[in-house]
Amino acid sequence: MTQNLVTAAVLVIGDEILSGRTKDKNIGAIASRCSDIGIDLREVRIVPDDEMEIVAALDALRSRYTYVFTTGGIGPTHDDITADSVAKAFGVGISEDPRAIALLLERIKPEDLNEARRRMARIPHGAELVENSVSKAPGFWIGNVIVMAGVPAVMNAMLDAVTPQLTSGAKTISRGVAAGTLPEGAYASALGEIALRFPDLSIGSYPSFRDGAFHNEIVVRGKDPLAVEQAAEQVADMVVKSSLDRR
Amino acid sequence: MTQNLVTAAVLVIGDEILSGRTKDKNIGAIASRCSDIGIDLREVRIVPDDEMEIVAALDALRSRYTYVFTTGGIGPTHDDITADSVAKAFGVGISEDPRAIALLLERIKPEDLNEARRRMARIPHGAELVENSVSKAPGFWIGNVIVMAGVPAVMNAMLDAVTPQLTSGAKTISRGVAAGTLPEGAYASALGEIALRFPDLSIGSYPSFRDGAFHNEIVVRGKDPLAVEQAAEQVADMVVKSSLDRR
């Protein structure tokens, strides 16, 4: 399904990200996937394993964007409180879901299905399950909120599982123009003029720093392929001209 | 200076992070630094290069936490709107700061100090400058908001520059206990009981997935060194016992 503007937010849940112990890899993966399928990722939040914080963030985000992707907090341990927090945010009950139990039993022997593991089958009422091809314990999808695991391998498997069901929007096309070590300050004014000519495009200048020097890339993004190509051409011409001006 | 509880939030500003083009490295670096010096990082947000969004996020975060660290949007190009947005959030004026111009002239020849580069010297009134040992163009600090560059090498230099001036809190001590491939589900109940015994500590179980298997680590965190050691010992004993139970 395609509609014109589809937006999303990511909500990362986990003390381990905020403490710096674990470096998040999921935000970038979800951001890239959204770009690939024409969903505009508009906001990301990272909150601790705290029910009030999770519910507040969920409510702020789900009322504002087409989709909210959450990662983290759906394992079997006491600090995994995402499912209960999502149920609370939606004002629905939560209990062991027979479909989830059946999935767990594909990986876990019946005699090993203890109370802790059964926690992974607690699903808010009314949610659809999200397949986990790595380790079976499912994510779920309720309203416009898609709840996924925090372990990147599992998150990616769940993201693959939900992608075909997402409404995709008009795809954003992106063209990069390398500016090499030409300083941003040498082309910023000319670039600003091009940006004014294309108000519907997003034109950004992105420096990176390596070997003691800045290397810049200018990226043109937008929904209209022709406008993106035209702007990228003007940027490329401008970079050549700015380089010559500096000789 | 030390006081008991010092909190922080990070606000990442930039379309390039939300588009997936650039993978953020600053959140993890700031999170680790905060942990190192006893500041509790409580929340992170990523927003686009959009003044209304930046101002709204700044206001939400700066009223709630001791410090707000922002990254991104302080270069010379048209899409660098962080300084103006911060001035707007604080309701103060913004103009070219002679101290910032002097710093730029350490790197840029007077004849190259064009209009675009002068933009990097626009500083909200009342702000202190934050030194940039990499490329001179400074960050700034106004109220409880510390504004830094998005390029990781520059952000890290600015973070180093402000760290000695931050109020640090009681340091959080962290002990990790490796659980190897012992499944979370095999120890989750016993771990939950330990967590109940230490309500002031944060005890988390963190799986990673490699070579087709989950590898788990249990991390005990808290401000009371004795309690952290006691809890970590109980966790270590519990892991041994759980492993033996599985034989």
CATH number at residue B211: 3.30.70.600
Q: How confident is the model at residue B4 (pLDDT cuts 50, 70, 90)?
A: confident
Rounded average pLDDT over B12-41:
96
Rounded average pLDDT over A108-135:
96
- Residue B245 has a pLDDT of 84
- Measured in whole angstroms, the distance separating CA A30 from the mean position of its chain's CA atoms is 3
Res. A3: pLDDT tops 70 = no
A139 and A228, same structural domain?
A: no
Minimal C-alpha gap between B98 and chain A (Å): 18
- Residue A217 has a pLDDT of 96
- Residue B1 has a pLDDT of 46
The enclosing H or E element of A153 equals helix A152-162
For B56-73, the pLDDT digits (tens) are 999 999 999 999 999 999
ipTM confidence: 0.95
Q: Tell me the pTM.
A: 0.95
Residues of A in contact with B119 (CB under 8 A): 188
Structure tokens at B204: 């988390």
Query: What 3 state SS string does chain B have?
Result: CECCCCEEEEEEECHHHHCCCCCCCHHHHHHHHHHHCCCEEEEEEEECCCHHHHHHHHHHHHCCCCEEEEECCCCCCCCCCHHHHHHHHHCCCEEECHHHHHHHCCCCCHHHCCHHHHHCCEEECCCEEECCCCCCCCEEEECCEEEECCCHHHHHHHHHHHHHHCCECCCCEEEEEEEECCCHHHHHHHHHHHHHHCCCCEEEEEEEEECCEEEEEEEEEECCHHHHHHHHHHHHHHHHHHHHHCC
Q: Which domain holds residue B178?
A: 173-245
A188 and A122, same structural domain?
A: no
Mean of all residue pLDDT scores within chain A: 95
- Indicate the residue among A145, A165, A185 that finishes a domain: A165
Residue among A174, A158, A167 nearest B21 (CA): A174
Residues 47-66 of B with CB under 8 A from A: 47-49, 53
Contact A35 B41 (CB under 8 A): no
B211 interface with A at CB cutoff 8 Å: no
In this structure, the dihedral spanned by the alpha carbons of residues A13, B182, B197 and B39, taken in order and rounded to 10 degrees, is -40
A82 and A129, same structural domain?
A: yes
- Residue A211 has a pLDDT of 87
CB A146 within 8 A of CB A68: yes
Measured between CB atoms, which of B15, B34, B76 is closest to A185? B76
Domain total of chain B:
2
Mean of all residue pLDDT scores within chain B: 95
Res. A4: pLDDT tops 80 = no
A161 and A187, same structural domain?
A: no
Q: Could you tell me the CATH number of the domain that includes residue B39?
A: 3.40.980.10
B186 and B93, same structural domain?
A: no
Rounded average pLDDT over A174-189:
95
Share of chain B above pLDDT 70, in %: 98
- Indicate the residue among B135, B165, B195 that finishes a domain: B165
Q: Tell me which of A18, A24, A105, A117 to substitute to probe the interface with B (most B C-beta atoms closer than 10 Å).
A: A18
A114 interface with B at CB cutoff 8 Å: yes
Res. B149: pLDDT tops 90 = yes
Burial code (b: 16+ CB inside 10 Å, e: under 16) for B137-151 equals bbbbbbbebbbbbbb
B116 interface with A at CB cutoff 8 Å: yes
A158 and A39, same structural domain?
A: yes
**Inter-chain contacts counted by CB atoms under 8 A, chains A and B:** 209
Structure tokens at B45: 């947000």
Res. A1: pLDDT tops 80 = no
Res. B172: pLDDT tops 80 = yes
Share of chain A above pLDDT 90, in %: 94
Measured between CB atoms, which of B43, B48, B185 is closest to A117? B185
- Rounded Cα distance, A7 and A68, in Å: 9
Residues of A in contact with B34 (CB under 8 A): 20
- Residue A78 has a pLDDT of 93
- Residue B3 has a pLDDT of 53
Res. B20: pLDDT tops 60 = yes
A223 interface with B at CB cutoff 8 Å: no
B187 and B153, same structural domain?
A: no
- A171 DSSP 8-state letter: P
Residue among A117, A115, A118, A83 nearest A98 (CA): A118
- Indicate the residue among A147, A165, A183 that finishes a domain: A165
A98 and A161, same structural domain?
A: yes
For B100-116, the pLDDT digits (tens) are 999 999 999 999 999 99
- Rounded Cα distance, A51 and A89, in Å: 10
Q: How confident is the model at residue A110 (pLDDT cuts 50, 70, 90)?
A: very high
- Rounded Cα distance, A15 and A47, in Å: 7
- A212 DSSP 8-state letter: T
Share of chain B above pLDDT 90, in %: 94
For B173-222, the pLDDT digits (tens) are 999 999 999 999 999 999 999 999 999 999 999 999 988 899 999 999 99
Rounded average pLDDT over A66-76:
97
Share of chain A above pLDDT 70, in %: 98
Residue of B nearest to A173 (CA): B19
Minimal C-alpha gap between B102 and chain A (Å): 16
- Residue B205 has a pLDDT of 96
Structure tokens at B186: 């095999």
Residue of A nearest to B61 (CA): A45
Residue B60 C-beta-side C-alpha neighbours within 13 Å: 18
- A164 DSSP 8-state letter: G
- Rounded Cα distance, B139 and B141, in Å: 7
Q: Is residue B1 part of a domain?
A: no
B188 and B159, same structural domain?
A: no
